[in-house]
């Protein structure tokens, strides 16, 4: 199975970054796409697993493609459409497009093109190839509930802490933590964050052993506090408005995927938009071809009298000789036609009467039928 977890250096060297999209802008595009999937899923009454699966597909897709090539809202609709089928909560493509039309502005919906259904269905095949048909995705929700059942303490405070951790898991979908760490580690980190904010200190838990220094040691191993704090900081950064969100938001060209130039053709083009840049190759148009007259049914040149190497005259060819009457012997291509034999006198054996001839073969046709052959 492919490895779907990336380091920080991989997240800063994505196809979008190589295509001229800065890191903060790419993070904003990911947040917008993820939140669109969550809003569309809530509008269509889809479960949390379906929404989370669609968001994970979305983040994985843009580790191989650029936001300039594939519009984020078309990709988000396609991810939700595929996630609904994988999680056995399918929705029709036209219903997803209808929901997207209600959530997006006219300018953003232009990226769906003239035929939105065809755009989504075409992008679905690209999505499947990109994620290598690895459709099953695990989420922190199940691990969150499993770990919370093992904790001991005040039930009211525990319930409040679990609810807060659940909300953190929902918000973490807008970040890239799902493609950086396993769902078990994310669940532990967000329970840790919720326990700190709700002032719920975990003192005892089910299955506690002397070698367990922390409560999560019985579930995951070799998890450092640096990893937990990194996940917590990424989630907490969502609640602090950044400079990218306060600045005027500029989106890449929102062309439908069918009209956007594919990555292979854009590999040698610089992301600099200056027309005078030497990195952009300017193609000079070819001169027009002179008009030529083409016959309706041209005859090959080798069937002409001008070609001395062709021994046959032009059309029409020589008339075919008449076929002689068929006789004995092989056909004309394999030998000469023998002369027709004259009629021979009847032989003696032909007049020998068979004793049972009249019994087996009565003369003449059967009664009540027309004669097939005239009497001899």
Angle between the N-to-C axes of helices 93-103 and 23-43, in degrees from 0 to 180, rounded to the nearest 10: 120
In terms of domains, do 97 and 144 share one? Answer: no
The residue behind tokens 């007259």 is: 293
Q: Which two tokens stand for residue 21?
A: 């999209």
- How confident is the model at residue 100, as a pLDDT? 95
C-alpha dist (Å) from residue 341 to 193, 323, 350: 115, 18, 19
Q: Do 192 and 77 belong together in one domain?
A: no
| CATH number for the domain that contains residue 39 | 1.10.472.10
The pLDDT of residue 193: 95
Of 237, 266, 292, the domain-final residue? 237
Residues 174 and 127 in one domain: no
Q: Rounded distance, CA 104 to CA 157, Å?
A: 39
Q: What is the pLDDT of residues 79-94, one digit of tens each?
A: 999 999 999 999 999 9
Instruction: Specify whether 115 is located in the same domain as 157.
Output: no
Q: Does 334 map to a domain? A: no
- Out of 170, 203, 237, pick the residue that ends a domain: 237
What is the DSSP-derived secondary structure letter of residue 215?
A: G
Rounded Cα distance, 10 and 12, in Å: 5
Q: In sequence order, what are the residues at sequence separation of 6 or more whose Cβ sits closer than 8 angstroms to the Cβ of residue 315?
A: 299, 303
Q: Per residue of the chain (376 residues), give pLDDT as tens.
A: 678 999 999 999 999 999 999 999 999 999 999 999 999 999 999 999 999 999 999 999 999 999 999 999 999 999 999 999 999 999 999 999 999 999 999 999 999 989 999 999 999 999 999 999 999 999 999 999 999 999 998 889 999 999 999 999 999 999 999 999 999 999 999 999 999 999 998 888 888 888 888 899 989 988 999 999 999 999 999 998 765 455 445 555 455 655 554 433 333 333 333 333 333 333 444 455 444 444 444 434 443 444 444 444 444 444 445 555 555 555 555 555 556 667 666 665 555 555 555 555 555 555 555 555 555 5
Q: Are residues 52 and 119 in the same domain?
A: yes
Q: Quote the CA–CA distance of 110 and 104 in Å, as a whole number.
A: 10
Q: Find out whether 337 and 327 touch, Cβ atoms under 8 Å.
A: yes
Element (H, E) at 51: helix 48-61
Instruction: Tell me which of 237, 266, 295 is where a domain ends.
Output: 237
- Angle in degrees, 0-180, between the axes of helices 225-236 and 183-197, rounded to the nearest 10: 70
Cα(86)–Cα(80) distance, integer angstroms: 10
Distance of CA 22 to the CA centre of its chain: 27
Full DSSP string of 153-168: S-HHHHHHHHHHHHHH
Please tell me whether the overall predicted TM-score, pTM, comes out greater than 0.75 for this model. no
């Amino acid at each position: 199975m492919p490895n779907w977890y990336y380091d920080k250096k991989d997240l800063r060297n994505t196809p979008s970054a190589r295509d001229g999209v800065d890191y903060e802008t790419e993070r904003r595009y990911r947040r917008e796409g993820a939140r669109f999937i969550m809003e569309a899923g809530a509008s269509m009454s889809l479960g949390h697993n379906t929404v989370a699966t669609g968001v994970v597909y979305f983040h994985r897709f843009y580790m191989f493609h650029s936001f300039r090539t594939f519009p984020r809202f078309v990709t988000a609709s396609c991810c939700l459409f595929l996630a609904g089928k994988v999680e056995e909560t399918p929705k029709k493509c036209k219903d997803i497009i209808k929901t997207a039309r209600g959530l997006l502005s006219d300018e953003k919906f232009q990226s769906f093109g003239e035929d939105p259904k065809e755009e989504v269905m075409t992008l679905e095949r690209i999505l499947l190839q990109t994620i290598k048909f690895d459709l099953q995705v695990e989420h922190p929700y199940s691990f969150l509930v499993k770990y919370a059942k093992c904790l001991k303490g005040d039930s009211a405070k525990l319930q409040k802490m679990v609810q807060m951790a659940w909300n953190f898991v929902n918000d973490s979908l807008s970040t890239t933590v799902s493609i950086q760490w396993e769902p078990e580690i994310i669940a532990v980190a967000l329970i840790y964050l919720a326990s700190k904010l709700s002032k719920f200190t975990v003192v005892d838990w089910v299955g506690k052993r002397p070698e367990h220094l922390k409560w999560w040691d019985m579930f995951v191993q070799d998890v450092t506090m640096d990893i937990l704090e990194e996940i917590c900081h990424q989630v907490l950064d969502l609640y602090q408005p950044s400079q990218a969100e306060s600045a005027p938001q500029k989106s890449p060209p929102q062309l439908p995927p069918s009209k956007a130039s594919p990555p292979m053709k854009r590999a040698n083009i610089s992301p600099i938009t200056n027309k005078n840049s030497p990195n952009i190759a300017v193609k000079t148009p070819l001169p027009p071809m002179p008009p030529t007259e083409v016959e309706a049914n041209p005859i090959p040149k080798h069937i002409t009298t001008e070609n001395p190497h062709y021994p046959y005259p032009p059309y029409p060819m020589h008339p075919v000789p008449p076929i002689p009457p068929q006789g004995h012997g092989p056909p004309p291509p394999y030998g000469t036609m023998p002369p027709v034999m004259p009629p021979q006198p009847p032989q003696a054996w032909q007049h020998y009467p068979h004793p049972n001839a009249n019994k087996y073969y009565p003369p003449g046709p059967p009664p009540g039928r027309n004669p097939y052959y005239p009497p001899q």
